[in-house]
Structure 1
Amino acid sequence: MNISEKNFSKIFHVFLCLIAIAMIFRKPCSFLIIVFAAFNLFFLKKLKYSKTSFILMACIASPFLLELLMFWNNDSFTKGLKAIEKSMSLIVFPLFIIGNFQYVDFLKLTKTYTIATTLILLLFFVRFNLFYPELMQKYLNGIHLWEMGYQFADSIGIHAPALNMHLAFVCVCAFYFVFNTFRQQKKLKTKTFWIIIFLLSFFFVLFVNTRMALGNIFAGFLIVLFLEIKAKFNIKRLVIIAIPLLVLLFGILFLFVQKDPYMKEKYSTVTFAHMDKVGKLDEIDHPEIKVFNSLVTRVSIWKSAWELSLKNLPFGVGASDGKPELNKYYKETNQQFLAKYEFPTHNQFLDFLLKFGILGPLVVVLYIFTIGYLGYDLKNALIFSFFLIFLTSNLVDDFLLRFDGIAFSGFWLSVFGSYWIQKKLLIVNRN
């Protein structure tokens, strides 16, 4: 099939934008990934690889490759195939995005993604108010404040921590582009637009209200300030821009906490309650009410996952058998609360240790820290912020089990890798 370079570049960019924007919607995004792969199969001659790109592609595909390597350890052939199917995007994205690295426009893609995702969330927020007025009324009256973020995420069809992981990255990107408009001395209209996008994205993070995401966005803001912006602004100009914006942020946060008093309780007493009951949650009266989202529950899960992992070294229990075996262990150790709700590991390193044995956490380290290496090597605040967000999210959850974690990270890691290759080639050409 013949197509001009200009048209191919436009179509390729549109695919990347659509996939990035649709990432919070599993079925539409899965369909787009399939169409994207089919499109690229027609233009295999355009793919360009090098030894470096093959190494990078192997790092991105490492969780999928581990699934293949350890496939023999699954008790069920069908469930093993299903586990592999979840990771297929880790082959598609590096193969076709890094293979077409020269067509990736990182900043333009990130801008489109940030604007479109924020506006889509705004539409869903309006929809939520129209279709679930009773929930919003409860929220405004201070009733059951803890459930609002989860209800909003459920109305979209995504788990709240996963949605807020996406939104944390969107918010940090918007923060970066606010500063970028000032650095490039854009018109007031452009500056105002980006400030509105940023404030909306910040509001949505607060509304969904997961603890890790809120900490991550402030860490991301600091990374943007000190890693990216400091190199391009003089200190005086940086302070003039940063202080009013940060005051505005903390003002919004203060007002939000005043309206949502549960937030103070959630981030203090609820989080750290009953830490003396690790592994003994059934001794707590109504644990599903008092400690369902507390740290003590996470630590109890991690303790069980660690103990079970040690019993199944060096190869683990198999990709398809991790959760069933963990649930069985809860029952064997008489942890009825954990068994009733069938909690997963809530830690990606422990999850892979349980499933794949010694190789598991090594692959997680390789995969996640490849993002960190790209961000560090490029001195790029957006990439390094993504690394921090995905790393910390996987310390308290297991996003390489879910489409919204696997595809999300695989897509952006492939985009970051393409940008890194572009920069490396630019340096080589200059020399």
Structure 2
Amino acid sequence: MSKTIAAVRADQLSQRDTWISIGIIGMLFFIFGFVSWVNAILIPYFKIAFTLSNFDSYLVAFAFYISYLVMSVPSSYLLKAVGFKKGMMFGFFAMAIGAFIFVPAAMSRTYEVFLLGLFTLGTGLAVLQTAANPYVTVLGPKERAAQRISVMGIFNKGAGILAPILFAAVILRVGDNELFQQLDTMSPEAKDAALDELIRRVILPYSVVGTVLLGLGIFVRFSPLPEIDTEHETAEVAQANSSKTSIFQFPHLVLGAVAIFLHVGTQVIAIDTVIPYANSFGISLLDAKVFPSFTLAFTILGYLIGISLIPKVISQVNVLRICTLLGTFLTLLIVFTSGPIPFWGMTVDISILFVVLLGLANSLVWAGIWPLALDGLGRYTKLGASIMIMGLCGNAIMPMIYGYFADLYTVKLAYWVLFPCYLYLVFYAVHGHKIKRWKLA
């Protein structure tokens, strides 16, 4: 029988306990990545199965990530009441329910029920993210926070590389390209039968996912993961926060939440739109399924660079500045360049590779923003983390904006939505994180 572990400060943990905690949290980030980035294949898959427009297909991302806006603050109160471990358990249980909702959704081929399942998955993930991100941020020296978050990112994006490929291997068949081309010429009855068969392929994988999530919830609850005390402040932090009565009195946090909103939006656009963008050049879904994995591979490359260089060679804030500037430059290359080049045994437009390279630009932005935004919050850390997690609704809103402009103009010109996002991220990296007090004049 597991005994309850009293909450301790992060600096009281032994090196062994710290590494065990990092390993368990790394497993959580792997699950985050697997469940989140499978949307990259779900979006074009549902677009075919439900004959959706670009805008409607991105409701997949919207339903999944809008839950962060709804649930992040309630998640912080849940964690405050029951602690990190029980909160994570409840998060896994909510995700399992969301996965199981896919079964009746597939049996009835009802898009709205799928969206409910995705929202429920996102609700559980909001609880887990609200717990895990501040946990790993405070789990050691703050100047190495970006390094630790980069390790978590490798787990997350490693799962993201596997998720679209494994999911596509389970649900797609060799003859599906011909099936997709014949759908418009089928009789209504034959088309309905084909689409029913197509959508029911998700039942088995999501039943397995739901079962695994249930098991993980029980495992985390009884794991050796210690409770981290974020309620008691050091004398220095308590003195600095003595006049603070509201979380919104921390400008660097509020501006950081906006930065997270825009960053995750740019990240999900880079990953979830690259398959439809490749389709616009005549590349089939079966061939284009590799592009999200390449994008995530470049993200992992960025994490490895960060782990190697931060903080000995370069500070985490300077890495953030470099990444945001690179994203700005790559956006311009996507919009203004074109031309065929050979890649991975096929001929692709060069602008597709610039979309893939956004994975490198985005790699260390999350890791750079979190320690800057949570710096000095003390007893406000959990609530501050929930405000940051609210920013993850950018994953829901930004793809919808992209989809709107893709329908209105072209999928290429729609990438202009990234440009102002990266400009703001440059501002936060250079100046925004330094603002500690709101100034009226």
**For the superposition of Structure 1 and Structure 2, which TM-score range results when normalised by the shorter chain?**
under 0.3
> TM-score scaled by structure 1?
0.28
Which structure has more RCO (C-alpha within 8 Å, separation ≥ 6)? 2
> TM-score scaled by structure 2?
0.27
